[in-house]
Amino acid sequence: MRRIFLTTLLSLGFASQVTAEAGGNAERGEALFRQCAGCHQVGEGAEHRIGPSLNGVFDRSAGAAEGFRYSNAMERTATGGLVWTYESLDTFIENPRNLVSGTRMSFRGIANQKDRDDLLAYLRLFSASPANIPEAAPTAKGLDHDFDPEILAISGDPAYGEYLSNECTTCHLLSGNDNGIPSITNWPVEDFVIALHAYKNAKRLHPVMQMMAGRLSNEEIAALAAYFKSLDQ
């Protein structure tokens, strides 16, 4: 799909434009990084602060910056095999909850694709293995990660959600036990919906959850969210 998209652009003669955008503007990215700098350092002498140092983040496994203590949520995601590539960083920066529910990174995200491109172009300057970093068009280019507000606006049927939730409770304990399998109780509805769509779209890697979410329709995900929300009341 992405390949087709790029091919189409190229054949239409937009090649130079794509390449220019794909590289991103690192200077502009440096300015954008100010919103990250409250928690993250990058560059010479960068240290872990509230968040880990971002030197060498490209091609690093998630949760693998030495000496930084990650949240359980990030560690669990990391074990699932998440690696910071252009595409996964792009997805994460757009909204951290896309990939890691319960991450300590309380950041609303950057909706604008150009801003993300520029920021990543800046961060890329501090990664040591440029061979692994797309110099030309990054694979994620042109993908729209923005969460369709219409999906979030769907109001689900809690009775159907209760039935669907039967498939969740074979593994997830409603008591909130978090041993080996994460708790899914008392989750904000929006996080719940975003997370299930991330599995459904294979942005999140866990094979069981990809399989379970893969056959849930938008309405069914909304129904589940409505049911789990009704448990809080």
Binding flag, residue 42, another protein (CB under 8 A): no
In the bound state with another protein, the residue whose beta carbon lies nearer, of 22 and 65, is 65
Which of 46, 152, 154, 173 touches another protein (CB under 8 A)? 173
Q: Quote the CA–CA distance of 107 and 232 in Å, as a whole number.
A: 25
Binding flag, residue 7, another protein (CB under 8 A): no
CA dihedral 111, 116, 118, 120 (to 10 degrees): 160
Q: Quote the CA–CA distance of 58 and 120 in Å, as a whole number.
A: 9
Overall residue count recorded for the chain in this entry: 233
Q: Quote the CA–CA distance of 155 and 158 in Å, as a whole number.
A: 9
How many angstroms separate the most distant Cα atoms in the chain? 57
Binding flag, residue 176, another protein (CB under 8 A): no
From the list 54, 49, 141, the residue with the least C-alpha distance to 104 is: 49
Which of 129, 132, 155, 177 touches another protein (CB under 8 A)? 177
The tokens describing 92, both together, are 């994460």
Which of 207, 217, 230, 232 touches another protein (CB under 8 A)? 207
CB 124, min distance to another protein, A? 26
From the list 233, 157, 222, 214, the residue with the least C-alpha distance to 190 is: 222
The tokens describing 71, both together, are 């949240």
Which of 27, 130, 211, 217 touches another protein (CB under 8 A)? 211
Binding flag, residue 202, another protein (CB under 8 A): no
Stretch that binds another protein, among 33-41, 127-135, 172-180, 195-203 (CB under 8 A): 172-180
Which of 54, 82, 164, 222 touches another protein (CB under 8 A)? 164
Binding flag, residue 230, another protein (CB under 8 A): no
Which of 11, 106, 166, 233 touches another protein (CB under 8 A)? 166
Which of 26, 210, 218, 231 touches another protein (CB under 8 A)? 210
CB 184 within 8 A of CB 192: yes
- Chain residues 52-111 in contact with another protein, contact rule CB under 8 A: 76, 79-81
CB 187, min distance to another protein, A? 16
The tokens describing 104, both together, are 């300590």
